[in-house]
Amino acid sequence: MAIDATFWVAISFIIFFGGLVYLKVPQKINEILNKLILDIKNEIDESEKLRTEAKKLLDNAQKKLDKAESISNEILEQAKKDSDKLLIELNDKFHKTSEIKKNLAENKIEQMKEAAIKEIKDTSIKIAVDSAKKIITTSIDKSKLDTLFQKNLDETKEELKKINS
């Protein structure tokens, strides 16, 4: 059997692996890998915890946001109701004051009308009395005039008593 280079390569390969086993390199590599695996697992667990906490914080923030939004909607609705109520009240007040002003104007017009009618009646009576006086003084003698005057005075007193009672 001839010992050639392949044989020596095989022997060196076996010696190399035997040295590695003797120096416990595969166990050290295994320990390092296990430690790395454990570290990675711990980091994954830690990141999972952080993700869970972040989810909780996000849920809380979302709840607060929803609550704030509902409160703002309630405030807006209340403001709308208040503004509608105020608008109705102002409208009612406007109509009431305009109605009062209208009634006052109508009353004032009625009073002015009554005053004008009274003034016209007074003036008509004065003119009628003056005309009657002229007619009577020019056409009737004094004795008839006194009896007529007394008769008219009595009739006027009677009419005034009827009006006053």
Q: For residue 2, what pLDDT is reported?
A: 67
Q: What is the pLDDT of residue 72?
A: 94
Give pLDDT tens digits along the chain (165 positions). 567 888 888 889 899 888 877 878 888 888 999 999 999 999 999 999 999 999 999 999 999 999 999 999 999 999 999 999 999 999 999 999 999 999 999 999 999 988 888 888 788 788 778 777 777 677 666 777 778 778 887 877 787 777 776
Instruction: Identify whether 6 is part of a domain.
Output: no
- Residue 140 inside a domain? The answer is yes
Asked whether residue 19 is domain-assigned, the answer is no
Count up the domains in the chain and report the number. 1
- On whether residue 131 sits in a domain, the answer given is yes
Following DSSP, what letter does each residue of 32-89 receive, concatenated? Answer: HHHHHHHHHHHHHHHHHHHHHHHHHHHHHHHHHHHHHHHHHHHHHHHHHHHHHHHHHH
Is 152 inside a domain boundary?
yes
The answer to the question of residue 13 being in a domain is: no
Residue 25 domain flag: no
Domain housing 153: 49-164
Residue 92, in any domain of the structure:
yes
Q: What is the pLDDT of residue 73?
A: 93
